[in-house]
Amino acid sequence: MVGGGRGAFIGAVHRMAANLDGKIELVAGCFSSDPEKSRLSGEDFFIAPERTYGSYEQMAESEAALPEDSRIDFVSIVARNDLHFRVAKKFLESGIHVVCEKPLALSKAEGDELAAIVESSGLVFALTHNYTGYPMVKEARALVKSGKLGKILKIVAEYPQGYAIPSYNEAVDDGGKISNWRMDPGVSGVSNCIGDIGTHAHNLAGYITGLKLEEIAADLNTFIPGMKLDDDGSMLCRYEGGARGVLFASQISTGEENNLNIRVYGSLASIEWHQEHPNELIVKFADKPREIWRRGNSYNGEDAVKYTRLPFGHPEAFIEAFANVYLAAAEAITDAIGGNFKGNAAYDYPTVDDGVEGMAFIEAAVKSSEANGSWTKL
């Protein structure tokens, strides 16, 4: 692991998720850019001192120099956004498989470079768009693939949060500038809200429907005084095949917690899924009552069943969704070690190509908003 040391929320999530199925063991890491904090974090996680590193460069070079049966099989990158590209590139060039937090990079140009390295290396690269890991999201995808929704006409994806409202009120009341690394362009790139959570809504829509987003008209906003990047955004979407959509992401939606949700409307039926109630999928029809499908039942499809661990009535949620990305990556890495790797696209995890699409989405949204919401191609 690179990043995710003491006090890091997302690092702990990744470690729990990776460990959930007993297929992955944490054996080495550079857990902080501060070598002392990395050392102490290594002690926390019971990592051998000689495999707790002071820099990711040292880690990649030292691990690559070990015999193949002794070195790490892959690295999990959970560092800040500005490090994703550099760390992933270093480990790929060292011949080591990669699981990486989103966003893929700070720009589409970096993403394209990384995609080319992945392609030429033949290595596993999984991107942790974790919301694709929920069993009922996979059920939704299977319903679309089966044609039961008919022709997809409309996609509405929303990701409202209210966590930044205290910062808004503090800045308004005190006239002060709130410190937040996500609002630093040097760390987050050209966008905060759309880059952080809007990409999840975009990725979820593409994963479920299989449709590529072609063009957007976006309005990004910065409500918190003193901030350099967006904390809210709305956009109209045009998808391949004629489907239309609306995408909304916000960090200043007072009272909202983590309300990622999606509605997909087809000519025969529609589906609705809410991340805060992840074990249910609502299926709606024009000529009969709506149905509520639940995870863990015999009527679930093959993909939902594969990534379900508990019987019905025992909720599975956030950690398990992350774990499903790791489970699929472990399958691919096991195949790669055995000489049977089928290519990243053959496994059920988001790939480097999904990451590049995400960077194109972010840049198009910013460009469109700067042009007063003009239609902008990805």
Domains of the chain, with CATH numbers? Answer: 9-123 (3.40.50.720), 134-310+357-377 (3.30.360.10)
Spatial neighbors of 177 by CB under 8 A, at least 6 apart, are 171, 225, 226, 227
What is the phi/psi pair of residue 153, to 5°? -110, -40
Q: What is the pLDDT of residue 171?
A: 81
Q: What is the pLDDT of residue 342?
A: 98
Q: What is the pLDDT of residue 235?
A: 98
What is the phi/psi pair of residue 255, to 5°? 90, -15
Q: What is the pLDDT of residue 179?
A: 56
Q: What is the pLDDT of residue 182?
A: 73
Q: Residue 324's closest CA among 313, 312, 314, 316? A: 316
Q: How far is CA 214 from CA 133, 236, 242, in A?
A: 25, 11, 10
What is the phi/psi pair of residue 100, to 5°? -130, 140
Look up residue 146 and give its two tokens: 């089966």
Q: Is the separation of the CB atoms in 40 and 116 below 8 Å?
A: no
Interhelix angle 9-19/318-337, rounded to 10 degrees, is 60
- Rounded to whole angstroms, the Cα distance separating 360 from 109 reads 9
Spatial neighbors of 351 by CB under 8 A, at least 6 apart, are 125, 126, 127, 344, 345
Q: What is the pLDDT of residue 174?
A: 61
DSSP 82: G
Judging by DSSP bridges, how do beta strands 244-250 and 376-377 pair with one another?
A: unpaired
C-beta atoms surrounding 134 within 10 Å: 26
Verdict on whether the full-model pTM lies above 0.75? yes
Interhelix angle 135-146/199-209, rounded to 10 degrees, is 50
Block means of pLDDT (10 residues each) for the chain, length 378 residues? 95 97 98 97 98 98 96 97 97 98 96 98 98 98 98 98 91 62 84 97 98 98 92 98 98 97 98 98 97 97 97 96 98 98 98 98 98 98
User: Which amino acid belongs to residue 201?
Assistant: A
Q: What is the pLDDT of residue 350?
A: 98
